[in-house]
Amino acid sequence: MVLELYLDLLSEPCRAVYIFAKKNNIPFMMKNIEMMKGQLFSEEFNKVNYLKKVPVLKDGDFILEESIAILLYLTRKYNTSSHWYPPDMKQRGRVDEYLAWQHTTIRASASKILWLKVVIPLFLGHSVPPEKMQDAVEDLNTSIRKLNEKFLQDKPFILGTEVSLADLVAVVELMQVVGAGWDIFEEWPKLQEWRRRIEVAVGKELFQDAHARILNPQELRNISIDPALKVQMKPMLLKMLK
């Protein structure tokens, strides 16, 4: 059976899986899921998705959720180039270290900025307090400093001379901020060059294709949100803004 990937390319973990699968010529059928239309909670999607999240991988009767688990599954099943997830134990440990760290740091801060700047105003019909945005910006800058000083240092990529899963996951997360209208890379020149190297490594056309929706301000402003989802999400979003 053909591998199925359930993705919404507004989601940074989905973009990482999409880019990785395309770059490595992994055959798959893409199942488009539109989160803002409430499709995460549809009866059909819930048959393959217990956690009500994307991405989801369906390989025959095997279903896998969580983007990092999916990426690692793909590296092993399709025996992708070793630079993505090296066999050397110490280098692999460095990739694992970044992938474990990023969930509550880079990813959390970058996603929060997009939600505060774009998504929450769409749900609630008004902008968020400036101090909330400032807190998110400070958190992201703190995380980026750690990305620079601990993980990237003065190397072309996190592991050295070749791109890895750590680089791919990191860059798609930071592109989420660009989608919010803040080109974070302009403020961090070393990261700007690092991003360009990743684009070349995966292919500029593929990189741009994966990020086309998130980098389209008009589309983001005109996203149609399912009315039932608005009602469901409103209490959580108001709590987030307190």
Q: Which tens digit of pLDDT belongs to each residue from 73-94? A: 999 999 999 999 999 999 999 9
CA gap 144, 122 in Å, rounded: 27
Q: What is the pLDDT of residue 239?
A: 80
Q: Which CATH number fits domain 3-77: 3.40.30.10, 3.40.109.10, 3.10.440.10, 3.30.70.2740?
A: 3.40.30.10
Q: Confidence band (pLDDT; 50, 70, 90) for 24?
A: very high
Q: What is the pLDDT of residues 123-144, one digit of tens each?
A: 888 888 889 889 999 999 999 9
Q: Which of 28-42, 148-162, 207-221 has the highest mean pLDDT?
A: 148-162
Q: What is the pLDDT of residues 38-60, one digit of tens each?
A: 888 777 777 788 888 899 999 99
Q: What is the pLDDT of residues 166-181, one digit of tens each?
A: 999 999 999 999 998 9
Q: Which CATH number fits domain 89-241: 1.10.8.50, 1.20.1090.10, 3.40.605.10, 1.20.1050.10?
A: 1.20.1050.10
Residue 242 has pLDDT above 90, yes or no: no
Task: Using a pLDDT cut of 70, give the percent of the chain over it.
Answer: 100
Q: What is the pLDDT of residue 65?
A: 94
Q: Tokens representing 184? A: 């974070």
Order of strands, edge to edge, in the sheet holding 56-59? 28-32, 3-7, 56-59, 62-65
Please report the sign of the dihedral spanned by the C-alpha atoms of residue 36, residue 41, residue 44, residue 49: positive
Q: Confidence band (pLDDT; 50, 70, 90) for 161?
A: very high
Q: Confidence band (pLDDT; 50, 70, 90) for 240?
A: confident
Q: What is the pLDDT of residue 19?
A: 98
Whole-structure pTM value: 0.94
Q: Which part of the chain has CATH 3.40.30.10?
A: 3-77
Q: What is the pLDDT of residue 224?
A: 82
Q: Which part of the chain has CATH 1.20.1050.10?
A: 89-241
Q: Confidence band (pLDDT; 50, 70, 90) for 192?
A: very high
Higher pLDDT, 97 or 44: 97
